[in-house]
Amino acid sequence: MTDILSGQAPAALITAPGSGQGKSIVTAALARLHRNAGRRVRVFKHGPDYLDPMVLEVASGQPVYQLHPWMTGENECRWRLAEAAREADLVLVEGAMGLFDGDPSSADLAALAGLPVLPVIDARGMAQTFGAVALGLARFRPDIRIHEVIANRIGSPRHGELLQQSLPDGVELLGAIPRDDAMAIPDRHLGLVQASELANLNQQLDAAAAVLAQAGLDRLPATVTLQAPAPLAPPPLLDGVRIAIARDAAFAFLYRANLDLLEAMGARLSYFSPLADDTLPDADALWLPGGYPELHAARLAANTGMRAAIRDHHRAGRPILAECGGLMACASSLVDLDGREHAMLGLLAGTSTMEPRLQALGLQSLLTRDGELRGHTYHRSSLSTELQPQARTRKLAGTEAEPVFQVGSLTASYFHGYFPSAPALVARLFRGQPLAL
């Protein structure tokens, strides 16, 4: 019989009418506010996002996992939340885009898990219309619960009073956040700046938490019961396989769930820096994840020791998985944001070039006889190559499907995979076996 996980905790899904309303920093500041009050806070992120979770981990002091009914699966969404509710004093989920945007949307996740929804509404240039926006969010779907909203970026206490007076019956103002420098995190072409690059992030989060406390946002949301069947353990398909993973400022787009799965299947993980190291750890396989190689291309090109070590690994027929930024590093060369060309690993004949606009965005999957690896694509570079792909992903939403290249023991694509969706396929990739199409 399958065990049922069940837990109770105050919980909320933090959302907004659209992107740019401030929900990321509000979620992080709420996590830090309650952590500073002595509470254990667990935070999750809806959708395929690497950058927001980095900040949320610093804010909460706890690991952050992705939740997405399609990519991670409905059952996983439920059990991760239930597991968190068993141990935490507060569970927060940061939504993606606007509340009803996408398929599945943040609203779909809230309805699936039974989470109360807490919208953050940017109130700049708005007075009584604030109430209309709140009413629309609260009444648009009957299967979600919105009883409170947060006003963000108000101009004065009087402004906050007008917003509160505009709210319809059944919807209250949890707090009104003034405009403050602490409530802004810098971003770049793929999203927020990585948490590791923000030298004063802890101090800023403490300051942001203080802003929220002064705005009356120190009250816990409603307590809910979260429950789900416990997952089955994956088979030991990578027992004893040593996997070295690139992790530094250039390669940092790693889902915690992917790392957990590799270890649960028996792999032994180690980490190295293609920027700082000149040798590889002892490893049977390498993983070059996504990140920002374009910002560090000169250093990557100059590290001849590391480039030689990775080439030797490939020449010996040992597996390499390269995702997005990893694919860019495996190309012959990379043209950066300033138009400068840098020599890369040369394992994949071709050139990756940074473009003025986003080149791909959307949910995708790779379907093979070993299962369907679900994930997404999101990049601003293009690849010029005469190589023919071994396979192509399937597009669920967004731009065109991505090619998947296999060159000897290298598997490379712009596609980012969520490993728990297809453990057998992931094991095949890290054992260097051809795709079973």
CA separation (Å) from 38 to 2, 58, 78, 86, 109?
34, 15, 26, 17, 28
Say what the pTM is: 0.95
What is the CATH number that goes with domain 4-229?
Answer: 3.40.50.300
Is pLDDT above 90 for 361?
Answer: yes
Q: To the nearest whole number, what is the mean pLDDT of the chain?
A: 95
> CA 35, CA 31: separation in Å to the nearest integer?
6
Question: What's residue 118's pLDDT?
Answer: 98
Question: What's residue 293's pLDDT?
Answer: 97
Q: 251 forms bridges with which residues in the sheet? A: 291
What is the CATH number that goes with domain 242-430?
Answer: 3.40.50.880
Q: What positions carry a catalytic annotation?
A: 324
What percentage of the chain carries pLDDT values higher than 90? Answer: 92
Residue 429, helix vs strand vs coil: helix
Which is nearest to 376 in space by CA: 392, 361, 359?
361
Is pLDDT above 70 for 309?
Answer: yes
- Number of Cβ atoms within 10 Å of the Cβ of 308: 13
- Model confidence pLDDT, tens digit, residues 268-292: 999 999 999 999 999 999 999 999 9
Domain with CATH 3.40.50.880 in the chain: 242-430
- Model confidence pLDDT, tens digit, residues 51-90: 999 999 999 999 999 999 999 999 999 999 999 999 999 9
Is pLDDT above 60 for 1?
Answer: no
**Residue in this structure with the two tokens 């009087």, named with its chain if needed:** 158
Mean pLDDT of 117-130: 97
Residue 409, helix vs strand vs coil: coil
Question: What's residue 191's pLDDT?
Answer: 67
Peptide bond before residue 104 is cis, with ω within 30 degrees of 0? yes
Domain with CATH 3.40.50.300 in the chain: 4-229
